[in-house]
Structure formats: C-alpha cells, structure tokens
Amino acid sequence: MSLLPHLGHGVGLRTIHYPHVLDRTARADWFEVISENFMIAGGRPLQILEKARELAPVVLHGVSLNIGGTDPLREDYLTELELLIRRFAPAWVSDHLCWGAVGGSFAHDLLPLPYTEEVVRHVAARIRQVQDRLGRRILMENVSSYLTYSISSMPEWVFLSAIAEEADCGILLDVNNIYVSAINHGFSPLEYLSGVPAQRVGQIHLAGHSSQGDLLIDTHDHPVPTPVWQLYREAVRRFGRVSTLVERDDQIPPFEELLAEANRAREIEGEVLNASSISL
C-alpha cells in the first residue's frame, strides 16, 4: 500500500526477546506483536511494549478478529484493540483472512474459508465495519491451509484480491503461507503472486514450516527455508520494496539469529531491486 511507510525488515517480538528489549539490544528495523497478548490490564508485557516502541516502530497483528466468522464481531475485542491502538500508535494493524470462532466459542486457530462470492461479500462487509470502527485501513493476511472446500468457486488469490478491493483494505502477504498452501493444494505459487494487486500489498511475512505426511504445516518453528526465500525474491520482483517481517513462534532462536534472517531478507530485496534497476 503506497500510503504505508516502508519500515524495512523486522522481527516478530516474542516473550523470549523481552530481555533484549530491556537492555536495548533488540535492534530490529521494526517489531510486530500479537495484539491479543497485550489485551491485558497491566503488568510486564505492556511495560515491555512501551520500551520496544522506544527502540523501533511497532505493528499490531491480531489472531482472533474472526473476520470470516458468522458470529457478530466482538464489541469488547474491538474496544480493546482501539485502546491498544490509542496507547501504542502502531504503524498499522493487521489480522488474518480466516475464521476462528462459531457460536461464541473460539478455536484459537486460523481456519480456512470457502472461496465464494457470498463469502467475499460477507467478509468485505465485516472488514469495512472494522475499518469504520477503528478509523483506519487494516491489512488482511492470507493463511496457510490444509483443506479446501468443494463449494469454492475461485482460487485463493482471486478471493483475497476480491475482498481487498471490495473492502478497500490492505494485504499482508505471507510468502510462507502461499508456499505451504501451494504444496498442500497443488497450485502455482507464482500464479498466486501474479494474481495479487501490487498496490494493496503493505507487508510481507516470512517464516518456516514443517512436514506431516504429504502436507506442509505452518509451524513457524524453523528458519525460513530455501523455497520460501526463492518465492520472496519473486515477491520483491513483483511488489518492490515492501516492509518485511520474519516470524518464529516455536523453537524460537536467539534474537541475533532472527535478526540475521531479517537482514538476509534485506539483502535479497537489495539484490532484486538493484538487478531490476540495472536491467532497466
């Protein structure tokens, strides 16, 4: 999204990194934090986030908006999100293009949606409702999936693009998720990239995954693997300079290792963009 700042190459801030925030050695371009982890009344996490903000810009990334759900959007959740936005002034706010709750119960997972016109309209209307409430455009992230529905009538990238256009929201493109879903469902990740409207991509995620039988699982417990780096090169070719973030949620390595991956993303972006300018 041209209206979003280019923050560079950041890392997902997790509890294990808090000591680095406290001693001010967490020197990333920017941090992304899980919004729900800070929807609390007080205590250490909020103090850490205050300190992280002094070091680098912060972005709020939610996991429980349930934008694709059929339950009404949770008013208490939106209020808490608003409070966080007011207190921490994130560069932007994002969540996932999925559903995660039904009948008032939460799965705490990113569950896949059927790709139909009906669902495009349903989700886009809810995104507009959230954007109106927050007074800002939000970014929606494509999720990894392990199943698709026989009732879907369009590929995932058409679904994602249609929602972004109809809701006038941004896209957080998770390159690892594209790769994982491409392997699991047998589509071309390059076709996915070429089907996404470049002007709406405001952020890129990079992460690792693991195998389970024939399926790849988005476990965020490994370094970014070679095929995902290769796909990232293609993403930079297609979308240009986009704020990029390396995520790790399990087997989290020392902060320096995560930072090294963010720096590798920076190098790849530089290589691709330099090559593009030379070829012009």
* Residues found near other proteins in the complex (CB under 8 A): 36-37, 39-47, 64-66, 68-70, 74, 77, 99, 101-109, 111, 113-114, 116, 118-119, 122, 146-152, 185, 212-213, 215, 217
Q: How far apart are CA 70 and CA 111, in angstroms?
A: 13
User: Shortest distance, CB of residue 148 to other proteins, whole angstroms?
Assistant: 5
The count of other CB atoms within 10 Å of the CB of residue 117 is 11
Q: Which of 96, 92, 107 lies closest to 65, judged by CA?
A: 96
User: Shortest distance, CB of residue 20 to other proteins, whole angstroms?
Assistant: 17
Whole-Å CA distances, 203 to 86, 90, 111, 237: 21, 14, 21, 14
User: Shortest distance, CB of residue 42 to other proteins, whole angstroms?
Assistant: 4
Residue (130 or 262) nearer to other proteins, CB: 130
User: Shortest distance, CB of residue 41 to other proteins, whole angstroms?
Assistant: 4
User: Shortest distance, CB of residue 145 to other proteins, whole angstroms?
Assistant: 9
Residue (27 or 44) nearer to other proteins, CB: 44
Strand 170-174, strand 139-141: pairing: parallel
Residue (114 or 197) nearer to other proteins, CB: 114
User: Shortest distance, CB of residue 215 to other proteins, whole angstroms?
Assistant: 6
Radius of gyration of the chain (CA): 18
Question: Under a CB-based contact definition with an 8 Å cutoff, are residues 159 and 181 in contact?
Answer: no
Residue (42 or 135) nearer to other proteins, CB: 42
Listed in sequence order, the residues at least 6 apart from 17 whose beta carbon sits closer than 8 Å to its beta carbon are: 11, 26, 252, 255, 258
The count of other CB atoms within 10 Å of the CB of residue 42 is 7
Residue (171 or 180) nearer to other proteins, CB: 180
Residue (84 or 228) nearer to other proteins, CB: 84
Q: Which of 115, 31, 98, 14 lies closest to 63, judged by CA?
A: 98
